[in-house]
Chains A and B, each alone.
Chain A
Amino acid sequence: MQFEKNHDGPIEHSLEIALETIEGLLHDRYTLSRRAVGLLLLQEDHEIQEMVKESQPTILDHIEKIISGVKATYAYPIEYEIALLRRDEVERIINRVVKVKEKEQGIAEKVSALMMNPIAGFPLLFLILYFGLYKFVGVFGAGTVVRYIEETLYDNHLNPLLVKMVAFIIPWRILQDLMVGEYGILTLGLRYAVALILPIVTFFFLVFSVIEDTGYLPRLAMLIDRTFKKIGLSGRAVIPMVLGFGCATMATLVTRTLPTKRERLIATMLLALAVPCSAQLGVILALLGGHPKAMVLWAGIIMMVFLFIGFLTARLLPGERPSFYIEIPPLRVPHLGNIFTKTYVRVKWYFLEILPLFLLASVLIWLGKLTRLFDFLIFLFTKPVAMIGLPKEAAKVFLFGFFRRDYGAAGLYDLNKDGLLTGDQLLVACVALTLFLPCIAQFLMNLKERGWKTGVGISLFTLLISFGIAFMVNLVLNKLGISL
């Protein structure tokens, strides 16, 4: 499109003349047309500025001079002036060739309005969480499917076979332990990744893709924005937060989509502290399944910690308040092919990124046991564990909890099976473990995304908070004489 050449100010400051001058300076080896590059330069697009700086560094000064001349004649940024002119041009064309028919409100619009209605929206959210997350991922995925794969396939067939094979190939006991011992690479690391985590995460990503493709997430973002503003985030942060219920490590990576550093930091911290991942959720729900009161209390406490710590951080952390806008696309019936592709790509990413960390965790546990370092660390944990009213066997659970957050939860499961825990202790342990340090994969992701200082800081902070809150919960339960 051409801009008009007449202009209030000096003629060389008119958009069209300035643009043509810039076009004349550019060579034509850019992937975009010279006019497009010129337009983007006028709008001070950083990427294009960098591109031209690299390709034609000598003309940059001249271009900047032209642009500052144009800028001086407008009160608003140039992208705004261009947007106005472009809109007028679009309207001129549209009015000539397009006729718009008003459509009746269809069923999709009605459901959409219901989803965004604060009164109907939250019960609807609850239903989606209950059936999508709890029933499908939790009960069916983490329960039925995992039990089948882990117990039937792995424990009965695959593991005995692996143990025999390794024993045959490697004669040394220590190395046998590393491969197929109690915490061995093959028997623990690989089994965990393939038999336990993989199905849970696959089911979660399946549900997540369905929810994503219907267009529900922006509606959820719109519902939650006001609440999230109080904890220093905007509605947009629901996407990493919901993803965090699947895999907090992947969710930490997705915090990249948040616009400011401050939001990314707050989201990373809350993901580390108070968002249990699907693997952890599965085990915790199983543990507390027999104690409905404890389960409600657990959910309430975690939610309060999430909001309270978020609120405090938002108060203490300097920086601009986040601003929120999101497009609300029409509701759609998801396309099956898209869902499978998305789930496949995510599961693949997960597997390639996380599997090495599982194996590494196995090696570290093996090393820790071999060097007796673990015994020492467990000894260190005994005191705090006793302070929150748990038996000393639980110390081991917390240490392993760091290597696999869900593994810690699984350890708790074993303790409970042995009848070592009361209902109160179960609640305290679940609270502590949910809030406890992120697993090693998330820890490494925190270091990678937020820098090592912040990453370590977040970990120490979660350690402190988890024991602090657990201590208080235990104290309150004791003082009030409640036994669950």
Chain B
Amino acid sequence: MERKDRIEELLESLWIITVEGQKDKSDFALLRDDEAIKDLIKMGYVFVKENQLGLTEAGKIEAQKCIRRHRLAERLMTDVFVEKSKLIHETSCKFEHLLHKDLEKSICTLLGHPKTCPHGKPIPPGSCCRGASKEYLKKIIMPLAELEIKKKGKVAYLQTGNRDILQRMIAMGVLPKTEILLLQKFPSYVIQVGKSQFAIDKEMASQIYVRQV
């Protein structure tokens, strides 16, 4: 593995342990002689204190970008290339290092600015997610609310932290790979799932992400 890739992997690991795991530092013992760690310390991204490693403020910013690229790559593999689950991690690990700046933004846009990776972990938002309305790229994955009327979409994933709403989606049979026909958008969203029709509100229609078919 190239030195640069190794550095990014380490930043990601430290992010998961310290920021998402909500610990200050991580055990240093295993990595004591790693060249990449020395580089990171030199770059001012990582500090050592009492034999433990931690991310500096600059390091956190850098690590957040790496995590974002990694999880976007995972989404790309699952949603667009429909990759088998076992391979997602490996492929994404290699792919993420190729995702830089503009490419990252385009992929985020294509995927409809996803908020979580396929494993349900948060994807830190990028600058493109905030100005998501002015878009020129055609999306591949989008919230059901943005699908055109009379078009069919295949559910890519459900984006909700609310268990009650998730259970309602399950009750309707709205699950990944389910085909949904959007019949109407106003005054409520009317969808056809199999032979059944349901009316749902805009909030719920915005939490179902589909791939247009």
Taking Cβ atoms with an 8 Å cutoff, the residues of A that contact B are 75-77, 79-80, 83-84, 87, 113, 116-118, 218-219, 221-227, 229, 234-235, 259, 321, 323-328
Known pairs A84-B175, A116-B184; A225 contacts B170 (CB<8 A): no
Q: Is the interface of A mostly helix, strand, loop or mixed?
A: helix
Q: Is the interface of B mostly helix, strand, loop or mixed?
A: mixed
Give the CA-CA distance A219 to B188 in the complex, in Å.
10
Interchain residue pairs with CB less than 8 A apart (26): A75-B119, A75-B120, A76-B120, A79-B166, A87-B178, A222-B187, A222-B188, A222-B190, A222-B199, A223-B188, A224-B187, A225-B187, A225-B188, A234-B201, A259-B164, A323-B168, A323-B203, A325-B168, A325-B172, A325-B198, A325-B200, A326-B198, A327-B196, A327-B198, A328-B190, A328-B197
Cross-chain contact of A79 among B170, B173, B188, B199 (Cβ < 8 A): B170
B101: CB under 8 A from chain A?
no
Q: Which residues of A lie under 8 Å from residue B184 when comparing CB positions?
A: 116-117
Nearest CB of chain B from residue A264's CB, rounded to whole Å: 16
Q: B184: nearest residue on chain A (CB-CB)?
A: A116
Contact check, A79 vs B167: say whether CB atoms are below 8 A apart.
Answer: yes
B163: CB under 8 A from chain A?
yes
Nearest CB of chain B from residue A47's CB, rounded to whole Å: 14
Q: A80-B158, A227-B187 are in contact. List 5 more A-B contacts (CB 8 A).
A: A84-B176, A219-B199, A225-B199, A259-B164, A328-B199
Q: Which residues of A lie under 8 Å from residue B175 when comparing CB positions?
A: 80, 83-84, 87
Q: B119: nearest residue on chain A (CB-CB)?
A: A75
B136: CB under 8 A from chain A?
no
Contact check, B187 vs A118: say whether CB atoms are below 8 A apart.
Answer: yes
Give the CA-CA distance A321 to B184 in the complex, in Å.
23
B204: CB under 8 A from chain A?
yes
Give the CA-CA distance A327 to B171 in the complex, in Å.
10
Nearest CB of chain A from residue B10's CB, rounded to whole Å: 24
Q: A77: nearest residue on chain B (CB-CB)?
A: B163
Known pairs A75-B120, A222-B199; A87 contacts B188 (CB<8 A): no
Interface residues of B in 186-211 (CB under 8 A from A): 186-188, 190, 196-201, 203-204
Interface residues of B in 61-75 (CB under 8 A from A): none
Nearest CB of chain B from residue A235's CB, rounded to whole Å: 7
Nearest CB of chain B from residue A216's CB, rounded to whole Å: 13
Give the CA-CA distance A225 to B190 in the complex, in Å.
12
Contact check, B166 vs A77: say whether CB atoms are below 8 A apart.
Answer: yes
Q: Which residues of A lie under 8 Å from residue B198 when comparing CB positions?
A: 325-328
Give the CA-CA distance A218 to B164 in the complex, in Å.
20
Q: Which residues of A lie under 8 Å from residue B49 when comparing CB positions?
A: none
Give the CA-CA distance A129 to B158 in the complex, in Å.
39
Q: Which residues of B lie under 8 Å from residue A79 when comparing CB positions?
A: 166-167, 170
Q: Which residues of B lie under 8 Å from residue A218 when comparing CB positions?
A: 199
B48: CB under 8 A from chain A?
no
